[in-house]
Every structure is written in structure tokens, then in C-alpha cells.
A and B are shown apart, each in its own frame.
Chain A
Amino acid sequence: MRFLFKTHYNQDIDHLKHGGDRFWYGLLLVLAAAAPAALGTFYLGELNLVMIYAIAGVGLMLLVGYTGQVSLGHAAFLAIGAYTHSLLLGAGLPFLLSIVAAVLVSALVGAGVGWIALRMTGIYLAIATLAFAMLTEQTISRAEWLTGGFRGLAVPQASLFGMPLTQGWQHYYVTLTLLVVTLLAALNILRSSTGRAMVAIRDSEISAESVGINLAVYKTLAFALSAGITGLAGALFAHRLGYLSPDAFTFLISLQLLLMVVVGGVGSMRGVIYGALFIGFLPQLLAIARDTLPPQIAQAPGLEPGIFGLILVLVILFEPQGIFGRWLKIKSYFQLFPLYRRATHRRQKTYLRTERLR
């Protein structure tokens, strides 16, 4: 077990607590930067997709994992980011500006949704965000003059600093840079007073309000931040898809994003990465699994959502803290060996109580 000897207050809020952290994260960064040299086009593309998922996951994690607001409608923000980006790109805006605009538009819409959602908690919020996502999907498919409806919208070719982005590795580096920036930004927000306020709201709205946190401001802010980051992911996702249509942003995508957050581990940024890896490579695993199953089951059209549902159920039942939680348990098992006790990680139960007065 490692004991940190702290000599400065700033050590409490350092991102990298000690030499080991610095070494491993540095190694990860080097490996990620070197990946295009080692991986083929297909796996590089998949890794790119995983990182796009991770960016969206960071956005959703800020909302679900740190502010405690459930959203079943994040595919809508993804769609708004994607459409804004491709429309502005098509209108001749430079790549970087159009991405910034996509983030701003999504954040603005997110702030609007957050403002509406202020009076709601828990299930009401989930339903309202779901309704919002349905509305967005319908609007996109009906506003044919703008989005092309179901005929689709071709995503224009992007170019960065005068260099056209055509190769897989170029997109990979763009996504990697934006992912690192997003992660650092999110982590910095979380250690600032804004982030602390969000965590306080998650843990208890009433006590947060009692210590002077303006619930309306911080909830709206959390929604805006989350939507903005998801919009960024949407803009990158547009390039990945190449052709936008409303059925690329269905409820299933919202669910996938949530699944990612839950499987990775609610309330940890590392969990986002684990979850993104899981979601990104699950279709490959399913494709392999399909070969071993009897054909009448393997070829059934609704199998994939069913498997998603099954994984969701199993994770919530058996490992509510996700992959990150499991990792923490394994780590502390070895750190404390042979003194590890299962009760260390047992969560306190909170029994449901509604404020129904009649």
C-alpha cells in the first residue's frame, strides 16, 4: 500500500497523485499517440469510434454520474451537434469554427432543456428528456428543407489548417486531441467549485440548497456542459458516419450512451473510457458470438438490443459500480491482502420515500 506524504495543499486536488500515476498515464498517452503506426485501418477506425463514444460519455457522465440527473435523450444532443456541424461546414465555415459552433448550439439547447427540467427529478426528468429526444428526432426527419429528412445529409469534407482530413489517422489524431482536452476540461471542472456544487446536488439537493448552492443555476449549467460535450462528440460522429439521417440518432443510441456510463462505472471519468471500450467493441464480440449460436437465434433481427438490455440488467444487478468499481475492488483486495473484507464496498441502502401527502 502506498502512503502519500503531502507537503502542499495543492496535492489534494492534483490530477496525478504520485509518480506511478504519472508513469502509467504518460505511457497510455504515448501508446495512444503511437497507435496509428501499429494498427490497421479497420481497428484504427474502431478506436476512433471508441474515442468519440468516450467524449459523449464524458458529457453524459458529468450529468448522470456527477450531477445525478438522468437523461434518456442524449442522442438528441449528439444529433444536434452532428447536424449543426455538417450544415455549417457545408455553408463554408472552417472546421474548428464549425465544431465550436456545434458545441455552442448543443450547449444552448441543453441549457434550455435543463431549464425546463429544473422542476423535475428522477423519473420525471428521464421521461422529459426522452420526450425531448423523440421531438428532436421527429423534427429532424420532418424539417426536410434543412436536414434533408430521411433522404439524409451528406457530411462535407473537412480540412484543418489547409490540410484536407481524408485519412483515418488524421481523424484519429483530431479525435484523440479533443478527447484529451475534453477529459482535462471535465476533470478541472470537477475539482473547481462548479464541480463540487454539482456533486453536492447529486448527493442531496436539499443539503446543497441549504449551503447556498443555487440549484437552478448549477443544474442548468450541468445540462449545458453535458449537452455541449455531447454535441462535440456528435460533430466528430458526423464525420465517422459520412451521411446523416434521423435514424442514426434513435432511442437506442441514447440507451447505448447510458449503458456505457453504467457499465463503465457511474461517477468516475475512468469508467467512461472503460464503458466506451466496452460499447465500441461489443458489436465485434457479438459478431463472433453469432457464428457459434444456432442460426435461427443468431440471425434474429432484434438480438442486439436484447443483448444490450441483458448486459444492462446483469450489470445493475451484480456490479452496480460497473467496471471501474470492480477494478477498485480487485485493487484493494491485493493492497489489503489478506485483510480484504467484502463489506468495505457495500453500499448503504436508501429506502424509497415519496413526498406524497395524501
Chain B
Amino acid sequence: MVNFAQGDLMMLGAFVAVTLIGDFGLPWVLGLLLSVLALAVFGYLLDAFVLRRVLGEPQFAIVMLTIGLGFIFRAVAGLVWGYDPQSFPTPYTGKSLRVGEVVVSYENFAILLGTLILCVVLFLFFRRTRLGIAMQATSQNQLAAYYVGIPVKRVFSLVWAISAGVAAVAGILLAPVSLVQPGMGFIGIKAFAAAVIGGFGSIPGALLGGWIIGIAEQFAGVYLPAGFQEMSAYGILILALILRPQGLFAQIQRKKV
């Protein structure tokens, strides 16, 4: 199952957080937890009512469906919250951390820390818990998972809930750095690039892929003419697909007959 609307879920998460914290004046931590919860519930319901119907259809249908959903989310967010970029207040805005020579703003530090915590939690979840292993089994073979008694439909809904919740966290972490607007989900395409470079289904791979793309973009912005910064992510993606299509940490191998 692949979600082309992930970036847009992230955008929704950021908007919900802006509404809860900025407009309703909830404390920051409470607002964060509530918006992650809201997005998780949204993801669960989205699967239960919409995506479950295409289970068993060709993958093409799922790709198209999530692309369509992404467009709907963007239009709805534009209707509800408008197209003006909004800033996102955090308790740590404007402060920076000094480690020796390097100055890191707390916003970037929060992204770093949040990503690390998230990765560790997800890694442990998929390795250690019954539910996480059931999810892996479902992703490997739906029918076989069903035969061994995994409630595949509910597992799918839970996967969507987790993925939407994670997207909300990403949105909240990103919001202070880039402004909150309906188009912010386009970074999701770069996230895809990261996942593909690292190899689908591998969390360290996704981290490394994201790191490569981020570094390359910064270097291209400094050392190459204008325009290469936007192109570098896609260029690297295509290069990676030519040289090592299975990803740096390959988990998928060609099927032998």
C-alpha cells in the first residue's frame, strides 16, 4: 500500500495543530498530542470507509486513489484555512542552541530530536510488538496473513492511523521552519524520493535517503547555478533508480519462478 497523499496528511496535521494551539490557545504539548490523535482517528476512518474498498484491486487503483485524495485534502484545506501561509507559534521559536562552534536553532533541533525519537519508537514497534509484526506480515502477504488469523482489515486501518499520526508529527515539526499552507505537502514527493533511495520498507534506509537528498540540495544551492537546487532531489532519485533500483538497503528481490 502506497500513499501519495502522505504529504497532504502532514499538511492537515500542521493545520489542525495551528488551529488548536494558535486559535484555541491550548498548551503546546496538549495541542500536539490532540492533533496527532485527531489525524490518527482521521486516518483510521479514511481507511475504514474509503481505502478498504480498493483492497484487492490492482495497485494502480490505489496510487490513483491516494493522488485523488491528496487533491481533495488540499482543496478542503484551502477552503477551510485559506491559502495564506500561516506561522506556527512554538515555545521554542527564535531560541538557538550553542554546541561548541555550531549554532543550531531550537526549531531544527526539535526536528532532529523528534525524528530520532519517532524512528526509535517505530523501529521498536515494528520489531517488538505483536501488532507491529502483524503489520509486517500483512504487508508481506495479505492472504497468508489472513489465513494465520491476523484481522487484515483492522490492521490496515491501524496502519493508516499510525501513518497519519506520524504525518501529523512531521507536519508539526516542519511547521515552524516552513510556513503552514495547503501546498506544503509537496515536500511529500521528496520524502518519497528519500524512501526510494533508501529502499522501501527500511527505516534506516529512509533516514539515509533523506539525509542524502537534504545535503545534496544544500550543496547544489551553494555551488551550482540557480535552479539546480529544486532539480537535485529528482535528479538524485533518477540516478539512484538507474544505479541501484532496489534501494541502498534493499529488501525487495526479484521473484524467481
Contact = CB atoms under 8 A, between A and B. Distances in A.
B234 interface: yes
Interface in A116-152: 116, 119-120, 122-124, 126-128, 130-132, 134-135, 138-139, 141-142
A135 B56 CA distance: 33
Nearest to A349: B56
Contact of A349 (B57, B67, B235, B257): B57
B69 interface: yes
A358 interface: yes
B67 A312 contact: yes
Q: Determine the interface band of chain A, counting residues with CB < 8 A from chain B.
A: 35 or more
B78 A300 contact: yes
Classify the interface of chain A: helix, strand, loop or mixed.
helix
Given A353-B140, A356-B140, A302 B83 contact: yes
Given A317-B65, A351-B143, A358 B60 contact: no
Contacts of B60: 64, 68, 70, 122, 266
Interface string A179-201: 00000000000000000000000
Contacts of B1: 352
Interface stretch (B22-30, B103-111, B248-256): B248-256
Contacts of A297: 79
Interface residues of B, number: 57
Contacts of A123: 2, 59, 63
A135 B239 CA distance: 12
Contact of A127 (B192, B226, B242, B252): B192
Nearest to B235: A135
Interface string B77-97: 011000100000000000000
Interface string B214-225: 000000000000
A313 B69 contact: yes
Given A316-B65, A356-B252, A127 B237 contact: yes
Interface in A36-66: 64
Classify the interface of chain B: helix, strand, loop or mixed.
helix
Interface in A270-311: 297, 300-303, 305-311
Contacts of B55: 349, 351
Contact of A354 (B69, B140, B182, B257): B140
Contacts of B2: 123
A351 B59 CA distance: 10
A303 B80 CA distance: 12
A122 B59 contact: yes
A355 interface: yes
B133 interface: no
Contacts of A68: 60
Tell which of B65, B238, B253 has the most Cβ of chain A within 10 Å. B238
A306 B231 contact: no
A134 B226 CA distance: 16
A120 B67 CA distance: 20
Contact of A135 (B69, B234, B241, B257): B234
A127 B241 CA distance: 10
Contacts of A357: 251, 253
A134 B64 CA distance: 18
A10 interface: no
10 contacts: A120-B241, A131-B189, A134-B234, A138-B230, A142-B226, A313-B72, A316-B61, A351-B56, A354-B252, A355-B255
The 5 residue pairs across chains A and B that have the minimum distance between CB atoms: A306-B75, A309-B71, A349-B56, A312-B68, A119-B245
